[in-house]
């Protein structure tokens, strides 16, 4: 029998005690918003949603029309339900507190409304990434206004995280800290159906994902790892590797959750003052937690991503995630290099 997202979440709440009712409603609302975004993404040129919006986000990146549409859909869907204190997004300079006309909740929602923007116009998979935190210091007697500081919690504090991939199928991957489950959107019925439970990433892999065009800018440990993969059977690794790079983190991470692999977007010398390209709070943290919950690992090359104490909402981070043994190898190469450079 098919299990809908609603039923799965209610059973988690009832029998597993893993999910407070308010969080369940919040996750259903996020999933509903993703259904709406899927409709716009699917329409593409027919909905006049492709192309640039001719605006820039806080990070100086040109926004696509669909970036802005997806951001608005998520805000409109989540503003009035009473579960949230505030939202934050890649596409908004600062936090979006819930307006006073609506009831206030105890959760904080962060999202990258449409990740992989460079792929929107060329009909390649893109996705929505989200992370849920609890507003700290929830003393019922003191109602403090929500602040950006409330969001600056390490990824280990997440209470839910997931993504929705808009690909050949529309799939929602979710964790509430009890493994990773996936739901596929049944468009005829308009419901999410459970299609995979207990997602597991194999510890070993022969597939790596990195933007190879940046090779000349990489740091030595990353170059060493990829060089060794490229040497194949004849090299120290003794096996041939395959390479994939979709330039949509959601699509690359989805592949890793389905069949293993390692994904890297490391620091590089193009912009040495930036720790990496990807954002910690709404890209690396939710993806890092999903990967860990599926038995994989996620580091910034040196440290577990989920342990990083954030200092800024839009902070960037170097990312190495996926099959455990490969991530540990890349991390060990960084630590070895640090030792020898002292």
Token pair belonging to 109: 């929602």
Q: Select from Mg ion, ligand AHM, none the partner in contact with residue 207, using the beta carbon and a kind-dependent cut-off of 5 to 8 Å.
A: none
Q: How far is the CB of 163 from Mg ion (least distance, A)?
A: 11
Contact between 265 and ligand AHM (CB under 6 A)? yes
Give the binding-site size for ligand AHM (rule: CB under 6 A): 12
Q: Which is nearer to Mg ion, 61 or 228 (by Cβ)?
A: 61
One of 123, 149, 211, 220 touching ligand AHM (CB under 6 A): 211
Q: How far is the CB of 61 from ligand AHM (least distance, A)?
A: 5
Burial of 285 (0-12, 13-18, 19+ CB in 10 A): buried
Contact between 318 and ligand AHM (CB under 6 A)? no
- CA–CA distance, 204 with 219 (Å, rounded to integer): 23
Token pair belonging to 160: 């839910």
- CA–CA distance, 211 with 319 (Å, rounded to integer): 12
Nearest one of 14, 58, 19 to 181, comparing CA atoms: 19
One of 22, 28, 61, 121 touching ligand AHM (CB under 6 A): 61
Contact between 266 and ligand AHM (CB under 6 A)? no
- CA–CA distance, 170 with 192 (Å, rounded to integer): 9
Contact between 247 and ligand AHM (CB under 6 A)? yes
One of 12, 35, 71, 117 touching ligand AHM (CB under 6 A): 117
The interaxial angle of helices 220-231 and 324-341, nearest 10 deg, is 130
Q: Which is nearer to ligand AHM, 56 or 148 (by Cβ)?
A: 56
Q: Select from ligand AHM, Mg ion, none the partner in contact with residue 150, using the beta carbon and a kind-dependent cut-off of 5 to 8 Å.
A: none
Contact between 285 and ligand AHM (CB under 6 A)? no
Token pair belonging to 227: 């060089």
Which residue, judged by CB position, is nearest to ligand AHM in the bound state? Answer: 249
One of 55, 118, 123, 189 touching ligand AHM (CB under 6 A): 118
Q: Which is nearer to Mg ion, 112 or 207 (by Cβ)?
A: 112
One of 112, 268, 292, 326 touching Mg ion (CB under 5 A): 112
- CA–CA distance, 171 with 154 (Å, rounded to integer): 27
Instruction: List the beta strands (DSSP E) in the chain.
Output: 52-56, 62-64, 84-89, 96-97, 107-115, 126-134, 160-166, 170-175, 180-186, 191-196, 207-209, 242-243, 262-265, 278-279, 297-299, 316-317, 319-322
Q: Which is nearer to ligand AHM, 108 or 253 (by Cβ)?
A: 253
* Site residues, Mg ion (CB under 5 A): 112, 115
* Site residues, ligand AHM (CB under 6 A): 61, 90, 112, 115-118, 211, 247-249, 265
């Amino acid at each position: 029998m098919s299990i809908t997202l609603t039923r799965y979440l209610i059973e988690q709440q009832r029998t597993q005690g893993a999910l407070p009712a308010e969080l369940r409603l919040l996750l259903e609302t996020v999933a509903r918003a993703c259904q709406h975004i899927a409709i716009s993404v699917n329409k593409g040129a027919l909905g006049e949603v492709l192309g640039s919006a001719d605006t820039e986000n806080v990070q100086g990146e040109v926004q696509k029309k669909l970036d802005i549409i997806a951001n608005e859909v998520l805000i409109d869907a989540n503003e009035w339900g009473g579960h949230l204190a505030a939202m934050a997004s890649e596409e908004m300079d600062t936090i979006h507190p819930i307006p006073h006309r609506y009831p206030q909740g105890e959760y904080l929602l962060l999202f990258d409304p449409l990740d992989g923007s460079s792929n929107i116009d060329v009909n390649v998979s893109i996705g929505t990434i989200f992370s849920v935190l609890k507003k700290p210091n929830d003393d019922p007697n003191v109602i403090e206004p929500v602040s950006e500081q409330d969001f600056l919690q390490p990824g280990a504090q997440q209470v839910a995280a997931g993504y929705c991939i808009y690909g050949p199928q529309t799939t929602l991957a979710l964790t509430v800290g009890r493994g990773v489950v996936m739901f596929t959107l049944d468009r005829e019925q308009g419901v999410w159906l459970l299609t995979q439970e207990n997602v597991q990433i194999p510890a070993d892999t022969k597939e790596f994902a990195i933007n190879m065009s940046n090779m000349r800018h990489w740091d030595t440990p990353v170059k060493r790892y990829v060089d060794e993969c490229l040497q194949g059977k004849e090299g120290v690794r003794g096996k041939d590797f395959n390479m994939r790079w979709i330039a949509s983190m959601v699509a690359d991470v989805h592949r890793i959750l389905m069949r293993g692999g390692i994904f890297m977007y490391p620091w590089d010398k193009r912009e040495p003052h930036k720790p990496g390209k990807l954002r910690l709070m709404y890209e690396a943290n939710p993806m890092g937690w999903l990967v860990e919950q599926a038995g994989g690992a996620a580091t910034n090359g040196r440290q577990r991503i989920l342990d990083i104490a954030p200092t800024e909402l839009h902070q960037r981070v170097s990312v190495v995630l996926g099959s455990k043994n490969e991530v540990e190898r890349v991390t060990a190469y960084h630590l070895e290099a640090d030792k020898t450079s002292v």
